[in-house]
Amino acid sequence: MLCLAAQGTQTAAAAPSAATRFSIRAGALDDALQALATRSRIQIIYAPVLVAGKRSAGLRAELTPAQALERLLQGSGLLVVKVNGDTFLLQPAPKPVAVAKPKPPRPPPPPPRIEEPTNLGPIHVTGSHIPRSDLESVPVSPMTLISRSEIEASGHQTLFELLRFQPGMVGHHPISVASEGGQPYQQPFAAAATTSLNALGPRATLFLVDGQRIANYGLISAELGGLTDLDGIPLSIVERIEIIRGGASAIYGADAMAGVVNIILKKDQQGSEAIARLGVSDRNDAKQRRVSVSTGVDLKRGGNLFLSADYFQQDGLSGAQRSWRSVDRSADGLGDWRIPLGYIGYETGNFWWACPRQHRDGKGRCILDTAKHISLQPEAERTSFYAHWRQPFGADTEAYADLRVGEVSQQLLGAPFYGNVFLPDEHPDAFFPGEFTSLYYAFYDAGQIRTRSVARTLDLSAGVKTYRGDWEWSAGFAHHENSVVNRIDGMVSESAFYELVGNLSYRFNARNSRETLEAFSPRLTSRGKAELDQVTLGVNGPWFSLPAGRTRVAAGLELGRDALENNPDPRMVEHDVALSPPKVRVDGSQIIAALYAELSAPLAPRLQGEFALRADYRERYRHKLSPKLGLKWNALDTLTFRGTWATGYRAPSLYELRRPNVSDQSAVVQDPGFGPCRNPIVGPNGETQCVVTRGAFENTELKPETSRSYTLGLVWAPNSSFTLALDHFDIQRRNEILAVSGMDASVMSERSFKRDEAGGLVGLQDYYDNIGETHVRGWEFEAEYRLQTQRRGRFSLRLAGNYLDRLSRRVDDESRVQDYAGYNAPDRTALAGLQWAYGNWTTAVNLRALGPSRIADPDGDCPKRNVLAGHCRNPGSGTVDLNLDYNVERWRLSLNVHDIGDRTPVNYDIAKGGYDIAYDDPRGRYYLLSAAYRF
């Protein structure tokens, strides 16, 4: 079965319902159908034998694609069946039945009619710059398609929530992204939300919008680098999502080592629609509200305009609103990890509780449970406006433009700033006279640590496409930017605090003046802006013929400029913020360029070859070639084998030019390999040790990361109702950019040493370098079964899963390879969905399952406390969602119940405070009501 699918990664063609000017010359019917699919961006599915040897008289008229297809097929004996809005199936027209007695001749059959839509299941057509005139419905690379109907049935309100629950995906929640490396750091920063494929992190997953790159989040994440903020793309304007699994750098360039997520936005709509949604948890909190409106307008000469506006608001959810959220794990036998607050005598060790009265518990104790204060869900408000315009000019040219602007405002809460304070004897709050007093103290008077970020996005693209014979030429320009303002309250300025304590102006556990509070806990304000400008030129069309059919080729040039400006608060740069990593200013840009070429060739009647080659260049780094080879063999009409091999390349971006999270402090080392020391001391066993400062620096000599990957799988479709895809993937990434510890003599270099003029060692510094390697291997499957009945409606069952067989990492050339699969994160995930459509009702039940995980590192034993409590593994879990849709006239009413069983998260890793933020949903049972009206 062939599928004419003109589906280039940048969609700017006619909507299936819009009139288009066609100029198709006479010739083979196969070529005419190919020209129609390419020109109108529709999919035409048929068996090759149906068109073999048939001719077409051509077509010169302005028609809708459906009308043009009907006109081309007149007299061909073929019937058109509409699959969905842009997909059509060709079938033989019914033949007259022979009769025994002669009868008057029947009138000629009417021309083929467009029948009611028929559900043939998912048809995947992406992952290439070539419009697929010869592509079957089976793609050469493993792929997942999330349709608009599945998005609606999921009940998810944000793109981040939808993607992080897909098999093989890992969620990077804004709360964890803002943590900046965890304890002892307490400064939140860079609160973006993103996901990644197959445990390779955000740097290996490329996000596209309509086939185009977009600007990263404007602030640098010290742990993750550059991030695509998914919260900046409202889910209400997403038409579908295509997830290409496996290396795709040869087609899309850098950041595509693990795969690509292509987010396709809506382009056309008949009439207008208004949608209102309200969500609330079973406990009457974590509320969400969304209002979106959209309209489609048909313009003259076949053009169209689509407009959409969206407003979303959600309440924050704190740890105190969930009983299971605590660092007190006594109920699990894992101990109480809350922080006691009070005075400790330096010599006697005496302890005395100390905190404001309102923060004492029923027994008069002062205990800080940090997990109770930290946000589980940020408070957020998001607005967005989106417009798409397309206009044909003449018979062979069309122009398009897209504009998307938005603002995301969100606030995260943390525990009050806390630490160990040493008080001099003369301070009036020194509790033990004559001793050097140590105080474990929480700065309740400064309030909880609060970070509010406002991110504004602007995405503008425009282009033109023209058709010359069988060839399509395109040119486009795009500008993308993301600017962020981040404000943090509740942190402590070290210099101001020491001054206030020294002059006895700050009093502990007592009322302080507003001026004092503002002096030692000032607001921190950081700003960042990321920009990406792109110019693209492309061409695709038929090239030459082989015995098995015609080849098609695509080639193009991409030029761009990537700019990043980061201005942290001056106190962060000067390292004047207590228990926080210092920041660096960044103001730079890089020129990027790429040349690509792709070839699709029928090597034999049942063997298809896909070849791609891309040359990438980033300023300050040499160019790199990335090839990809794909083969697809139709062993049987119902069975297809497929496989790919590819290499990947990712040069360090402006986000990699940063320093690791290291708090400057003193340290003691005793390794003789460090050389002479300026500040030697004698250790407890008589050995010579060296007192040094600890710090970090930016390494400007980083090299590109590289990868190789392959996939091997099969797709079995014994009939039109059942499809099964099973694929094996293997990805190896080399030259990974990881932090080098200045305290690790086995991997450090001379650049880590900081010496005085005489050569004496005075400091050790961490830095990023190309020292890591990761090898990921596993399996993915997807299956779908569809059943259409006359009395009981239509049923469909979909299954998808991911199993991580290997996740081996080497953090440097000297260390051992360790397999992390199943450690501290599940190694298997699955989704199952059952949908039933009957009359005006559509019902969907979705099940999400996670496998168990071990609590340890591969080279270590389970912690003793977990062994004693019998909790060395986190159990697997499952949640069930229900969605009900009712359509009547112009209304669509929906009810979604998420997590019907109201599952309580279970996690025995004490560092995670009762749940895993990457996989668990802390809201519990959740209700979402939706009402949509078409007019």
pLDDT at 85: 64
The CA distance from 466 to 600, in Å, is 22
Strand 471-489 versus strand 524-546 pairing type = antiparallel
Q: Give per-residue burial for 309-327: e unless 16+ CB within 10 Å, then b.
A: bbebebbbbbbebbebbbb
pLDDT in tens, 171-205: 999 988 887 655 667 888 878 999 999 889 888 99
**Residue 747 in contact with residue 813, Cβ under 8 Å?**
yes
Q: What amino acid occupies position 886? A: Y
Question: Which tokens in the block code for residue 262?
Answer: 């292509």
Angle in degrees, CA 663, 666, 667, rounded to 5? 105
CB contact set of 40 (below 8 Å; sequence gap of 6+): 6, 13, 14, 16, 20, 22, 65, 68
Using CB atoms within 10 Å of the CB of residue 178, give its burial: 0 to 12 exposed, 13 to 18 middle, 19+ buried: buried
Coarse DSSP helix, strand, coil percentages of the chain, rounded to the nearest 5 percent: 10, 50, 40
Question: Which tokens in the block code for residue 925?
Answer: 């049972």
* Residue-by-residue DSSP string for 258-292: SEEEEEEEP---SEEEEEEEEEEETTS-S-EEEEE
Residue 469: alpha-carbon gap to chain centroid: 39
* Per-residue 3-state assignment (H helix, E strand, C coil) for 753-770: EEECCCCCEEEEEEEEEE
The CA distance from 586 to 378, in Å, is 28
pLDDT in tens, 479-498: 999 999 999 999 999 999 99
* Residue located via tokens 């992952």: 127
User: CA–CA distance from 135 to each of 138, 277, 305, 633 (Å)?
Assistant: 8, 39, 30, 12
**Residue 80 in contact with residue 52, Cβ under 8 Å?**
no
pLDDT at 7: 35
* Residue-by-residue DSSP string for 770-824: EEEEEEEEEEEEEEEEEEE-SSS-EEEEEEEEEEEEEEEEESSSSSPPEE-TTBS
CB contact set of 62 (below 8 Å; sequence gap of 6+): 19, 20, 21, 22, 301, 302
* Per-residue 3-state assignment (H helix, E strand, C coil) for 417-445: CEEEEEECCCCCCCCCCCCCEEEEEECHH
The closest alpha carbon to 203, from 223, 180, 232, 179, belongs to 223
Residue 220: alpha-carbon gap to chain centroid: 16
DSSP 8-state class, residue 221? B
The CA distance from 218 to 227, in Å, is 9
* 428 preceded by a cis bond (ω within 30 of 0): no
pLDDT at 53: 66
Using CB atoms within 10 Å of the CB of residue 60, give its burial: 0 to 12 exposed, 13 to 18 middle, 19+ buried: exposed
Using CB atoms within 10 Å of the CB of residue 207, give its burial: 0 to 12 exposed, 13 to 18 middle, 19+ buried: buried
The CA distance from 184 to 194, in Å, is 24
**Residue 7 in contact with residue 134, Cβ under 8 Å?**
no
CB contact set of 417 (below 8 Å; sequence gap of 6+): 186, 442, 443, 446, 449, 490, 491, 492, 521, 578, 579
Residues paired with 285 in a beta bridge: none
Find the Cα–Cα–Cα–Cα dihedral 506, 509, 515, 517, rounded to 10°.
100
Backbone angles phi, psi at 649, to 5 degrees: -150, 135
Please count the CA atoms within 13 angstroms of the CA of 41 that sit on its side-chain side.
22
The CA distance from 70 to 64, in Å, is 10
Beta strands in 506-623 (DSSP E): 524-546, 549-567, 586-604, 607-618
The CA distance from 821 to 224, in Å, is 20
The CA distance from 498 to 870, in Å, is 46
The CA distance from 475 to 310, in Å, is 30
CB contact set of 876 (below 8 Å; sequence gap of 6+): 826, 849, 850, 851, 852
User: CA–CA distance from 414 to each of 489, 513, 519, 630 (Å)?
Assistant: 10, 23, 21, 49
**Residue 204 in contact with residue 255, Cβ under 8 Å?**
yes
DSSP H helices, 374-532, are: 494-502, 514-520
Within the chain, which residues score under 70 in pLDDT?
1-19, 41, 47-49, 52-53, 83-85, 94-137, 180-184, 346-348, 433-435, 663-666, 670-673, 744-749
Please count the CA atoms within 13 angstroms of the CA of 268 that sit on its side-chain side.
20
- Secondary structure (3-state) at 320: helix
What is the pTM assigned to this prediction? 0.85
Question: Which tokens in the block code for residue 575?
Answer: 């390292």
